[in-house]
């Protein structure tokens, strides 16, 4: 049975996103030559865009996927009158804004936020992801009292867009210790959002093929193999369900793209 089920499989679901990897994993040995180590690591350490959940980008991608098709990304900009001088001032402004959001809504809600301050005109600003059913753009603009410039974009901008684009963007700016203090530049998710992420499914299988439905919004694949093992990875975003009367129809745009 151990020989038959030699593929180690991991599947992670998050909203409409499904990520799965299957691998025959080699074992590293102290007696391996540099070439053998390099070949084995091609299986053991796949590229960053080909892992179910290994990096900060992977983790944020899964959390963003929990917003499904009703997430919006806001950029909240400070005007000159309210422009913060320090990172701690931005934090205080965020906490004040979050309080207003909770007071307006009357209950908890899902969110992801990030404070940035190095690119563009080097002014502090906040990126925020909210669910459309919780807040409209008009409500966000009304509640943001620190400036009149509030930009909003859909989390998925076009048929072949993915949650990973925003996850990469939120992880692009390095902590410099001055503008963004060490340990201070991290995206933050609401606890309500984190609790919605189901655990990963892990099992052994005799097959390395990863099934991907045909009627998906978009999808991507990665595959590598050598004499020491094999690694397969696939991801896809399920097509959006639209209700008409008692039936469901799918808005599907099949695209075959790699991450």
**How many CA atoms lie within 13 Å of 159's alpha carbon, on the beta-carbon side?**
11
226-242, pLDDT tens digit by residue? 999 999 999 999 998 76
The answer to whether the beta carbons of residues 69 and 159 sit under 8 Å apart is no
Residues 6+ positions from 98 with CB-CB distance below 8 Å: 111
Residue 202 has pLDDT above 70, yes or no: yes
Percent of the chain with pLDDT over 90: 75
pLDDT at 3: 59
pLDDT at 208: 96
pLDDT at 173: 67
Residues 6+ positions from 162 with CB-CB distance below 8 Å: 61, 156, 218, 220, 235, 237, 259
Burial of 59 (0-12, 13-18, 19+ CB in 10 A): middle
pLDDT at 146: 95
88-145, pLDDT tens digit by residue? 999 999 999 999 999 999 999 999 999 987 555 668 899 999 999 999 999 999 999 9
Q: What is the DSSP letter of 254?
A: -
**Arithmetic mean of pLDDT, 42-62:** 93
**Average pLDDT of the residues of the chain:** 88
Residue 257 has pLDDT above 50, yes or no: no
pLDDT at 117: 77
pLDDT at 236: 98
Percent of the chain with pLDDT over 70: 85
Q: What is the DSSP letter of 107?
A: S
Residue found under tokens 């404070």 = 115
Residue 245 has pLDDT above 50, yes or no: no
pLDDT at 256: 36
pLDDT at 242: 67
Q: What is the pTM of this model?
A: 0.86
Residue 81 has pLDDT above 80, yes or no: yes
pLDDT at 148: 86
pLDDT at 11: 98
């Amino acid at each position: 049975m151990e020989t038959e089920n030699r593929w180690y499989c991991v599947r992670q679901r998050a909203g409409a996103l499904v990520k799965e990897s299957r691998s025959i994993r080699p074992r590293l040995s102290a007696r391996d030559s540099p070439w053998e180590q390099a070949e084995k690591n091609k299986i053991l350490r796949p590229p960053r865009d080909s892992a179910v959940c290994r990096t900060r980008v992977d983790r944020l991608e899964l959390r963003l996927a929990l917003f499904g098709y009703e997430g919006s990304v806001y950029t909240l900009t400070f005007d000159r009158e309210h422009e913060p001088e320090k990172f701690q001032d931005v934090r205080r402004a965020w906490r004040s804004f979050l309080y207003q959001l909770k007071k307006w809504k009357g209950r908890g809600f899902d969110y992801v936020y990030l404070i940035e301050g190095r690119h563009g005109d080097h002014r502090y600003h906040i990126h925020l992801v909210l669910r459309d059913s919780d807040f409209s753009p008009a409500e966000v603009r009304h509640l943001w009292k620190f400036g009149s410039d509030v930009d909003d974009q859909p989390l998925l901008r076009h048929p072949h867009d993915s949650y990973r684009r925003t996850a990469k963007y939120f992880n692009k700016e390095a902590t410099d210790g001055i503008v963004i203090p060490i340990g201070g530049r991290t995206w933050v998710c609401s606890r309500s959002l984190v609790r919605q992420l189901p655990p990963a499914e892990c099992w052994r299988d005799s097959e390395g093929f990863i099934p991907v439905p045909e009627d998906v919004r978009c999808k991507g694949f990665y595959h590598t193999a050598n004499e020491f093992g094999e690694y397969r990875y696939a991801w896809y975003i399920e097509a959006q369900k639209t209700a008409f009367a008692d039936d469901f129809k799918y808005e599907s745009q099949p695209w075959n793209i790699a991450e």
